Amino acid sequence: MTGLISEIGMKNTSPDRVEVSHCVARIRDLRLILQGGVAADVLQWFKSSLTSVIRRKLEEEYCFVMEQHWMPWVEAQISQFPSNLTLSSNPEVILSQSLESIAFSKMNVDLRMRSDLIWNGDLVESDHFANDSSYEDIASSPSSRMITVFVEEETVQSILAATHFAGHFVATVDSPFLHTQCDVLCIGTVLPEIAEAMPNSSFTVQASTLAPPIIALQDGKALVFLNASLDVISKSTSGPSNGTIISINVETEFELKMDIQYRTVRCSSSMLNAQATLMDSKIGRMSQKVGPCSIGR
Which of 115, 146, 177 is the last residue in one of the domains? 146
Q: Best-predicted range by mean pLDDT among 56-70, 94-108, 162-176, 185-199?
A: 162-176
Number of domains in the chain: 3
- Give residue 76's identity as a one-letter amino acid code: A
- Are 63 and 92 within one domain? no
- Owning domain of residue 242: 169-296
Dihedral-angle region of residue 284 (phi above 0 means left; psi in -120 to 50 means alpha; beta otherwise): alpha
Q: Closest Cα partner for 158 from 118, 129, 122, 119?
A: 129
In angstroms, rounded to a whole number, what is the distance separating the alpha carbons of residues 225 and 274?
Answer: 10
State CA 94 to chain mean position distance.
10
> Does residue 251 belong to any structural domain of this protein?
yes
> Does residue 37 belong to any structural domain of this protein?
yes
- Are 181 and 281 within one domain? yes
Provide mean pLDDT across the span 59-72: 84
- Are 98 and 72 within one domain? no
Which of 79, 106, 127 is the last residue in one of the domains? 79
Contacts of range 274-280, beta carbons closer than 8 Å, 24 or more positions apart: 274/250, 275/250, 275/251, 276/230, 276/248, 276/249, 276/250, 276/251, 277/248, 277/249, 277/250, 278/246, 278/247, 278/248, 279/229, 279/247, 279/248, 279/249, 280/244, 280/246, 280/247
- Are 218 and 273 within one domain? yes
32 vs 216, more confident: 216
> Does residue 155 belong to any structural domain of this protein?
no
- Are 68 and 101 within one domain? no
281 vs 11, more confident: 281
pLDDT beyond 90 at 48: no
Q: Tell me the pLDDT tens digit for each residue of 228-252.
A: 999 988 886 555 556 788 899 999 9
**Whole-number mean pLDDT of the chain?**
77
Which of 34, 50, 79 is the last residue in one of the domains? 79
Q: Tell me the pLDDT tens digit for each residue of 89-139.
A: 778 888 887 777 777 666 677 777 777 888 888 888 776 655 555 555 555
In angstroms, rounded to a whole number, what is the distance separating the alpha carbons of residues 154 and 281?
Answer: 38
- Are 276 and 207 within one domain? yes
> Does residue 66 belong to any structural domain of this protein?
yes
Provide mean pLDDT across the span 271-289: 75
- Are 139 and 176 within one domain? no
- Are 93 and 66 within one domain? no
Question: Is the preceding peptide bond at 213 cis, omega within 30 degrees of 0?
Answer: no
- Are 67 and 103 within one domain? no
- Are 246 and 268 within one domain? yes
> Does residue 151 belong to any structural domain of this protein?
no
- Are 209 and 284 within one domain? yes
